[in-house]
Amino acid sequence: MTSLDHYRLLGRSGLRVSPLALGTMTFGTEWGWGADAGEARRIFDLYVDRGGNFIDTAVNYTNGASERLVGQFARDKRDRLVLATKFTMARDPGNPNSGGNHRLNMVRSVEQSLRQLDTDRIDLLYLHAWDATTQPDEVLRALDDLVRSGKVQYVGICNTPAWRIAQLQTIADLRGWSPFVALQIEYNLVERTVEHELIPLAASLGLGVLPWSPLGGGVLTGKYTRADLRDSQERAVGTTRASIIASSGLLNERSLDAAETVRAIAWELGATSSQVAIAWTLANPAVTAPVIGARTLEQAQDNFSAVGITLSPDQMARLDQATAPDPIFPGRFLRRPMVEQLIFGGAAVARRV
């Protein structure tokens, strides 16, 4: 059992954050499906009143409306909150330098975020996605310059291959530049492939894991059926929530089976499916705080209560059995009895990781 004011350390840093981060991609109606200013304010106030202090946004969310609303809501309690935002995504369509990981976009994005958030600093700045064009030295030195300037306090990374993060973190440590302290990745009961490389990397190199989409795009809430699965196969890619989940690949037979297992366990606990799905991510020791987004106050109230849910060993085992990802190489190879016999000579040896 825990609550939003039972704070955790973020990765290798000494920063104290709540066990759930408030995701604000839903703040603003500019993308056609978010919460208006009034509802966003009620969600924000509910989170903070319960002791929550970890706010997540990005320079481009709802065309900047998310940061502007967060800035307004946080103004009278700024020093109590940890504001996290992100750069990478294009801020000016058609301008090739308004997006990417290079120094120019990084600095201009931070300047725009500071204006939109109406603050003098960003507590945690994420690289939003690896652009596969900018050199690691340029990224790391620019991030370190922002930290040294005081505009940014800590840095994190999202949506980047494990080998690249390992390279970046190693360079930062060797050169005395600001290391990453947080890793934001898609992680939920229907997207567990990050357990192969990214989560072990985070645990080893000191990055707190912040799962985005802990509800699997809504699949784990039980809102979708086999009929939706048939419809999704014919649905064109678009900007509606239904189109996004249809094109994400998360809506399939296996994920619907997982949702049924979640629903059964929720019934046993007297909880909701959303609470069980979030509680499962919180049970992973590598996870610092799932990022929780909501479009209505009712959704927020339900999701925030997940911190009070405890899953039994049997329930965890059932969820694991229903959703465990297939092994990949080299893990698949190294776990073969013959290979273990060759490595350890038949002796029983405890593993560190």
Catalytically annotated residues: 61
In single-letter form, the type of residue at position 144 comes to D
End-to-end CA distance of the chain: 26
Write out the E strands in the chain.
8-9, 16-17, 21-23, 54-56, 82-87, 122-127, 152-158, 180-186, 208-212, 291-293
Task: State whether residue 132 is helix, strand or coil.
Answer: coil
Contact 124, 154 (CB under 8 A): yes
User: Distance (Å, rounded) from C-alpha 296 to C-alpha 50?
Assistant: 17
Report the b/e string of 141-170 with b at 16+ CB within 10 A. bbbbbbbeeebbbbbbbbbbebeebeebbe
Return the biggest CA–CA distance within the chain. Answer: 65
Element (H, E) at 71: helix 65-74
CA 119 to chain centre: 23
Provide the token pair at 143.
């991030």
Task: State whether residue 336 is helix, strand or coil.
Answer: coil
Q: Give the per-residue SS3 of 146-200.
A: HHHHCCEEEEEEECCCHHHHHHHHHHHHHHCCCCEEEEEEECECCECHHHCCHHH
* Closest C-alpha to 158, from 146, 144, 168, 150: 168
User: Distance (Å, rounded) from C-alpha 316 to C-alpha 279?
Assistant: 10
